[in-house]
């Protein structure tokens, strides 16, 4: 291995190095530096509050509290505080590529909205989506360091646990307030399908936190979340969300070298959940076997017929899409168009009324046309590709980082599976998940670039089965002067 000069990164490694030194580092010192990266990535149980506080970070966390608790009607105030922090902050303002895709999508929606037959419906929805652009912009600038990302993850999970998760549990078991046996809370969380889809994202964050937290209350809290959040997901009895959970588990298992251990852990959690699950949960999920053909849809729900109804709603959506393939019907104008189209005799009466599309993809497509869907998916695919490239670079060098990225990617894939059956295109939780993934990518890319140095020297990769642990156990090979 060639020696690497890390002075330009302000990094001191070894007893005789200093931040201002130009001395070259040999293989042994490179391994020492990689060990330091591992310790930094694991957080070592340090206080979550010991971060570089900014006005932007404060406003952003306040916003998180507002959207999860609904206790304080100051969401706009929180975002205003965060935006003021961006204006006052030192250094460059971040405007990542995925935010460019989202901004282009909103621009297209505004342009096509002028062609809509219902401008009074398009206007408010457009304002709401513009707010989401500002929120994503704030989040991208609030989460710039590893400590800030860690604080966000713990704080967001804590807010979710204290409000919608706790509220749904109390509703179900104490107050017996549910939706035909399905767990719900209130406000944004009053639909079991939506609540379950949001919980998938929170689950991936909790499992990813377990990878980085080696000890302390944060680790134990994350472990509790890994048990309780799947229970909430199953209590919503959402079949689409259950499919998302299966996708999550498949990706996680496929990405693990010690699959037997992971299977044992998942099996243990499954047994605990089976013992705690209310009656009827698995029965409803078991009806998925009838959803493979249109001829057996009535057997999915019996008299309730929600699967058959969704199929008829999708038929209406397909006709609207065929009639408005380029510009769509306008943001927020789908329901009123659906109500009119569903009166056609070719559709079953169960589809009548002001329905939504029951699918994120059909919703975006029907309201903004194929160009809108391309821009929307470009935002998601861009983050997914970049995170996967970084994850592969981390493998064998920063294994904990690689596992974190895989788990968050699995959560993203699970959510994208679940929303085939749910209309949640502008959900803050989903957009913030993209921000989290991209923020971690930036941090880990800096770690990798610093370790490799400006001369492009590659760290050991591929043959190191233990990754950082393997490096830590190997004796140093000496120093290069």
Q: Tens digits of per-residue pLDDT, 184-223?
A: 999 999 999 999 999 999 999 999 999 889 889 999 999 9
Q: Tens digits of per-residue pLDDT, 257-280?
A: 666 666 666 666 666 656 555 655
More confident residue, 19 or 116: 116
Q: What is the per-residue pLDDT for 181?
A: 87
Beta bridge partners of residue 383, listed in sequence order: none
216: left (phi over 0), alpha (psi -120 to 50) or beta: left
d(CA 136, CA 445): 21
d(CA 397, CA 460): 7
Q: How many CA atoms lie within 13 A of 406 on its CB side?
A: 23
Do the Cβ atoms of 338 and 355 come closer than 8 Å? yes
How does residue 28 score in pLDDT terms, banded at 50, 70 and 90? low
- Burial (CB count <10 Å: 0-12, 13-18, 19+), residue 55: middle
d(CA 347, CA 310): 12
Strands (E), 373-442: none
**CA 405 to each of CA 37, 205, 231, 439: distance values in angstroms, whole numbers, following the listed order:** 16, 10, 24, 11
**pLDDT mean across residues, the chain:** 82
179 phi/psi in degrees, rounded to 5 = -110, 90
Three-state helix/strand/coil letters over 69-110: HCCCCCHHHHHHHHHHHHHHCCCCCCCCHHHHHHHHHHHHHH
Min mean pLDDT across 76-80, 350-354, 441-445 is at 350-354
How does residue 329 score in pLDDT terms, banded at 50, 70 and 90? very high
How does residue 305 score in pLDDT terms, banded at 50, 70 and 90? low
Query: Which two structure tokens, joined as six digits, stand for 189?
Result: 């969380």
How does residue 254 score in pLDDT terms, banded at 50, 70 and 90? confident
d(CA 207, CA 227): 10
Query: Which two structure tokens, joined as six digits, stand for 70?
Result: 């609904």
Q: What is the mean pLDDT of the segment spanning 106-130?
A: 94
Q: Tens digits of per-residue pLDDT, 43-62?
A: 545 688 899 999 999 999 99
d(CA 334, CA 310): 15
Q: Tens digits of per-residue pLDDT, 423-478?
A: 888 899 999 999 999 999 999 999 888 877 643 445 544 433 333 333 333 333 33
User: 135, 212, 193: which is closest to 403 by C-alpha?
Assistant: 212
How long, in residues, is the chain? 481
Residue 38 has pLDDT above 50, yes or no: yes
Chain position carrying tokens 């009806």: 287
SS3 330: coil
DSSP state, 293? S
**320 CB neighbour count, 10 Å cutoff:** 22
């Amino acid at each position: 291995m060639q020696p690497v000069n890390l002075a330009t990164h302000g990094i001191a490694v070894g007893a005789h190095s200093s931040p201002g030194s130009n001395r070259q580092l040999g293989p042994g010192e490179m391994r020492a530096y990689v060990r330091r990266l591992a310790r930094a990535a694991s957080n070592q149980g340090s206080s979550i509050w010991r971060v570089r506080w900014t006005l932007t970070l404060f406003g952003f966390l306040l916003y998180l509290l507002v959207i999860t608790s609904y206790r304080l009607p100051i969401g706009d105030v929180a975002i205003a505080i965060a935006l003021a922090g961006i204006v006052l902050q030192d250094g460059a303002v971040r405007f990542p590529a995925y935010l460019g895709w989202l901004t282009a999508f909103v621009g297209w929606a505004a342009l096509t909205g002028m062609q809509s037959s219902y401008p009074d419906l398009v206007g408010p929805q457009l304002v709401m989506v513009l707010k989401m652009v500002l929120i994503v912009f704030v989040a991208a600038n609030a989460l710039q360091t590893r400590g800030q990302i860690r604080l966000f993850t713990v704080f967001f999970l804590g807010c979710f646990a204290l409000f919608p998760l706790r509220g749904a549990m109390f509703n179900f078991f104490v107050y017996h307030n549910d939706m035909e046996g399905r767990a719900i809370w209130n406000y944004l969380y009053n639909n079991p399908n939506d609540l379950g889809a949001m919980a998938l994202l929170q689950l991936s964050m909790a499992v990813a936190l377990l990878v980085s937290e080696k000890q302390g209350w944060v680790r134990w809290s994350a472990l509790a979340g890994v048990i309780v959040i799947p229970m909430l997901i199953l209590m919503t009895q959402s079949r689409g969300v259950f499919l998302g959970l299966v996708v999550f588990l498949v990706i996680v298992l496929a990405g693990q070298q010690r699959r037997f251990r992971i299977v044992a852990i998942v099996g243990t959690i499954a047994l605990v959940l089976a013992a705690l699950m209310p009656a009827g949960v698995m029965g409803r999920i078991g009806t998925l076997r009838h959803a493979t053909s249109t001829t057996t849809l009535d057997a999915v729900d019996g008299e309730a017929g929600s699967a058959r109804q969704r199929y008829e709603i999708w038929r209406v959506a397909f006709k609207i899409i065929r009639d408005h393939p380029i510009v769509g019907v306008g943001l927020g104008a789908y329901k009123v168009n659906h109500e009119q189209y569903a009166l056609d005799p070719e559709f079953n009466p169960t589809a009548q009324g002001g329905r939504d599309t029951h699918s994120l993809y059909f919703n975006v497509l029907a309201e903004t046309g194929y160009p809108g869907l391309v821009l929307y998916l470009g935002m998601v695919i861009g983050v997914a590709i970049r995170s996967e490239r970084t994850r592969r670079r981390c493998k064998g060098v920063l294994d904990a980082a690689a596992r974190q990225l895989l788990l968050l990617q699995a959560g993203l894939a699970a959510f994208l599976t679940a929303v085939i059956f749910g209309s949640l295109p502008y959900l803050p939780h989903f957009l913030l998940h993209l921000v989290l993934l991209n923020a971690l990518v930036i941090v880990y890319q800096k770690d990798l670039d610093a370790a490799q140095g400006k001369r492009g020297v590659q760290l050991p990769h591929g043959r190191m089965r233990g990754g950082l642990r393997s490096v830590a156990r190997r004796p140093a090979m000496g120093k290069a002067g």
